[in-house]
Structure 1
Amino acid sequence: MAKAKDKNTEELILNAAKNVFQSKGMDGARMQEIADHAGINKAMLHYYYRSKQLLFEAVFKNAFSLLAPQLNAVLNDDSSIEDKVRNFTANYISFISQHPYLPTFVIQELNRNPEFILNMKDSQGFPNLKKFKNQVKNEVDMGLIKPISAEQLFMNIMSLNVFPFVARPLLMAFTSTDNDTYQQLLDNRKTEVADFIINAIKIS
């Protein structure tokens, strides 16, 4: 029973922290507010996480651990580059639609503590581009896609998928859309982004 209770308490803390970090950012979040949202006292919160930084890292790792294996699986399966682009885009947009705070977390932490992200590179499940790089080169050499480096292609994929989530308020203002309409635009991007990239690299 104790283990189940501990696990439930930690889940309450992580969910509360996720919501507070999302609305207040890392610098604006307060441990007392997170404790209040979790329905526990501050001493209990500090028992689980001694500092706000450790709690932030736990929330980030928890979310990233759900996304990274999915992306890694797509990058390293035996499908074509075209299928990889489609599957990567669909998986990423679906996941981030359910965890909209994650891209902002990454940007905030890259600016505030770049070493933390770099240290995650060696963690289990972190996306590995080795196979993707070899496959892009092979498909270029075979004349299946236009000459492009795997690094540039991957950055194009990430940029077109990430930016609409990071800049959501700005793009909603530019496009004069409400939340429901903008979410539909994001859902449509599961195919729109893939088609755009594929049409840009595919040899007719």
Structure 2
Amino acid sequence: MEDKTTDQSSTELKIFEAAREVFQAKGLEGARMQEIADKAEINKSMLHYYYRSKAKLFEKVYQLSIIKVIPKIAELLNENLPLEQKLRSFVDKYLEIVKANPDIPLFVLHEMNKDPNRLRNFMIDQIGKKVQPFLQQIREEREKGNTVDLPAEQIMVNIMSLMIFPFIARPVFKTILDKDDEGYEAFIEERHRILPDYVVSIVMKKSS
């Protein structure tokens, strides 16, 4: 009985990993069940035994991937820290999360563009509401003259753009910078080292 349970768990894990790779690369509409079955090294009938539809499988991958990653990112914004320290911590930890899940930003972007309503409520609850205290903290520091004179929303978008774009535009930058996979990973590691201090330098005013 245990062997059967173990085999079932192993098969489900193979399906999940295969589906995550295909969905993150192609989104819900572009993915094909046959491709997922081939990648999981099972036949299509077995795939349908575990998941009767592509939508059900997508929902499972979505729940186990996106829902785990995005709340972690939102939590970073609400650490009880002074703004300068929070900026460094947020950038550092965010990049750690995204490096471990490099296809997630493109996956979310693809699905939001394809069907905004699919992720809308989740994004509002997990990001939109939780980002408000962080924006308010930036506003308060701006009032004190401690940050650059920009709206909090502009500062937030600038920070997120600096962090996310190298992952979303990876194929473009690999070509422009003439880097193979290993070279681009080194580039991301270098960026991880320099970005926390750089973000602080473009947001916080230097004390005189």
CA distance in 2, matches of 1:193, 1:115: 33
Does the aligned pair in 1 maintain the 2:88–2:199 contact within 8 Å? no
Aligned counterpart, 1:177: 179
Letter in 2 for 1:101: D
Specify the code of the residue in structure 2 equivalent to 1:198: V
| Alignment TM-score, normalising by the size of structure 1 | 0.86
The alpha carbon displacement at 1:156 in A equals 1.2
- In the alignment, is the contact (CA less than 8 A) between 2:139 and 2:151 conserved in 1? yes
- Give the whole-Å Cα distance in 2 for the aligned partners of 1:89 and 1:58: 29
Alignment-derived partner of residue 192 in structure 1: 194
* Matches for 1:55-134 after TM superposition, within 5 Å: 55-121=57-123, 126-127=126-127, 128-134=130-136
2:47 match: 45
Q: Any stretches of 5+ residues in structure 1 without a counterpart?
A: none
1:161 aligns with 2:140: no
Report deviation, 1:161: 1.0
In structure 2, relative to structure 1, the CA distance for the partners of 1:85 and 1:180 (3 Å cut) is same
Give the letter for the 1:179 counterpart: D
Are 1:86 and 1:191, in contact at CA under 8 Å, matched by a contact in 2? no
Q: Which amino acid aligns with 1:141?
A: E
Whether the 8 Å contact between 1:89 and 1:193 is mirrored in structure 2 is yes
**Secondary structure class of the residue paired with 2:36:** helix
Does the C-alpha gap of structure 1 residues 32 and 115 become closer, same or farther in structure 2, counting only changes over 3 Å? Answer: same
Percentage of identical aligned residues = 37
1:79 CA drift (Å): 1.0
Give the letter aligned to residue 56 of structure 1: F
User: Structure 1 residues 120, 9: closer, same or farther in 2, change over 3 A?
Assistant: farther
Residues 185 and 8 from structure 1, CA distance in 2 versus in 1: closer, same or farther, beyond 3 angstroms? same
